[in-house]
Amino acid sequence: MAKLTRPAVLLIAFMTLAGCASSGPQVQRATQGPRADEIYLMRFLKGYGRPPSFDETMAWREDFDRRVAEYISRQPGMIVSPRVTQFRVERRVAVGMTKEEVTLLVGLPDAIVSDEKAMEATAKQFWPEVKKRAKEMWTYSGEWQFYFDGERLVDLTVTGRQPIE
């Protein structure tokens, strides 16, 4: 039996990993999406090629907090609602939010898609369930996809992340 050399072992390992990767990135379905600061950081890194400075992050947080406070003050009864935690504390997108609320938290999407075939290709194995209510898909940095039925967020998927345990 022939002994494998180090380059041969590395080549076999690389080919094995490449074969595993060829199935494409894994898609997960979620009820909660990214945090506002996660999208901010991804967009900043993409746009400037560097992380934001402390001052830039603080300016973003102050502006974000101001916008959230203004929004909540315009919503009768929201101040005593458990939903206010989504905005003030968690700062996280969740199924059931309106387009206005999603935009408030994470800004405008990178792309808006209403083509069913494109949505199916993105949702992959979850499409049979997602398609029941999804009429439009918004995509965000970090490979997040938000599915809407009219004004309401009805589903979320994320691509290329480790499985949530």
- Encode pLDDT of 34-57 as tens digits: 999 999 999 999 999 999 999 999
Under the banding of pLDDT at 50, 70 and 90, the label for residue 163 is low
Residue 114 vs residues 5, 31, 48, 147: alpha-carbon distances, Å: 52, 21, 30, 10
| Residue 7 in domain | no
List the end-to-end C-alpha distance of the chain, in Å, as a whole number: 42
- Answer whether residue 16 is part of any domain: no
Number of helical H runs and strand E runs in the chain: 7, 7
For the chain, the 3-state helix, strand and coil shares in percent, each to the nearest 5, are 50, 20, 30
- Name which residue leads in pLDDT, 125 or 142: 125
Residue 104 placed within a domain:
yes
Structural domain range at position 56 = 33-159
Q: What percent of the chain has pLDDT over 90?
A: 65
Distance of alpha carbon 163 from alpha carbon 106, whole angstroms:
23
Per-residue pLDDT averaged across 99-113, rounded?
A: 95
Give residue 2's pLDDT.
46
Q: Say what the pLDDT of residue 87 is.
A: 79
Shortest CA distance to 32 belongs to which of 108, 85, 111? 85
Sheet holding 144-149, edge to edge: 27-30, 152-159, 144-149, 136-140, 111-113
In a domain, 154, yes or no: yes
Tokens of 141: 């940095």
Say how many domains are in the chain: 1
> Does residue 15 lie within any of the structural domains?
no
Q: What is the C-alpha separation between 3 and 156, in angstroms, rounded?
A: 49
Q: Is 136 part of any domain?
A: yes
Structure confidence at residue 7 as a pLDDT band (50, 70, 90): very low
Q: Does the residue 109 lie in any domain?
A: yes
Local confidence band at 17 (pLDDT 50, 70, 90 cut-offs): very low
Q: Do the domain assignments include residue 69?
A: yes
Q: What single letter denotes the amino acid at residue 110?
A: D
